[in-house]
Amino acid sequence: NTMEKNVFMQKVVPGFIKRKIMKKVLLGDSAKASLTTFNEARKHFGLSPIYNIVDLVRGDLTLLPDLPVLSGLKEEDLTEGYAYSAPIFSKMDMPVPNEVKEVFSRPGLNIFCSLGSSGFPETLKLIIKALKKMEGVNIVCATTSILEPEELGKHTERFYACKFLPAHLVNEMADIAVLHGGQGTIQTSAWAGTPVVGIGFQAEQQANIDGLVRAKAAIRIPIYSVSEKRILKAVKKVSGKEYRENALVLQKKVRATDGVKKSVDLMNDFLLKRMNS
């Protein structure tokens, strides 16, 4: 996020230096300092200390709830002890509100928008303000904890906002989605076959969106250049036939997997090998 917003980092610093900076953050002294609390807990349980973020999230078996086509990393290139489990995301057991059905039943382009719980309220307001300027669009927004739905305006025949929605079902009803790039959010859109305009607020979210960009099923707008003009341009482009077709290709790959079952199978295999060794 800092690199995205800093003009010097944007325009002057080469990409390979940015990657070195990120590596330093993850593996260097700054990471070590941020792990103090974790190491206090590890000491309490008789565990040796850890000194970088990678060690913090690494287990004897580390499952990556993703697909190579989304992460950009081939399965054969994974470090030993790591394995893809395939996508795992929430399918909230709640009905789609009638207001959503009514808005999305109108003629025009259906747009679903959510910035999760980590997006900026100002950015969400800007997105909705921009989308409302488009002709013939129907907008549904899940605000989560960012702000109150009423702050985005009153419910109309073409606009509805509420706090929470079953994203997998609403994504299926939408023609495109404007999202913040959380892993579950991106996987939900891929499962639904919905092209994305993504605005990442942190490095992980940017990387998740870039997975869809590589598959030509999304456009990512850097957080430092979010504007009404940029949003409208991206929405118009991603609503084209090519992006929709590419999103449907991804949909088949995601739906051909069962992340929960594969995770259980991988853990069972790991435990059996441990018990027999």
What is the full DSSP assignment across 139-152? EEEE-TTSS-GGGG
DSSP 201-247: SSHHHHHHHHHHHHTTSEEE--GGG--HHHHHHHHHHHTSHHHHHHH
SS3 state of residue 125: helix
Q: Amino acid letter at 119?
A: G
The first and second tokens of residue 267, run together, are: 């853990």
Q: Amino acid letter at 73?
A: L
Each residue's pLDDT expressed in tens, for the chain with a length of 277 residues: 555 556 555 566 676 676 666 656 555 555 666 788 889 999 999 999 888 878 888 899 999 999 999 998 999 999 999 999 999 998 989 999 999 999 999 999 999 999 999 999 999 999 999 999 999 999 999 999 999 999 999 999 999 999 999 999 999 999 999 999 999 999 999 999 999 999 999 888 999 999 999 999 999 999 888 999 999 999 999 999 999 999 999 999 999 999 999 999 999 999 999 999 8
Res 80: pLDDT: 92
Res 6: pLDDT: 61
Cβ neighbours for 138, distance < 8 A, ≥ 6 positions apart = 103, 104, 106, 108, 109, 110, 111, 158, 159
d(CA 78, CA 74): 7
DSSP 156: B
Res 262: pLDDT: 96
Res 23: pLDDT: 58
Res 52: pLDDT: 80
DSSP 194: -
Res 55: pLDDT: 84
Could you read off the pLDDT of 138-185 as tens digits, one per residue? 999 999 999 999 999 999 999 999 999 999 999 999 999 999 999 999
Res 14: pLDDT: 73
Annotate 32-62 with three-state secondary structure.
HHHCHHHHHHHHHCCCCCCCCHHHHCCCCCE
Res 56: pLDDT: 84
Res 10: pLDDT: 58
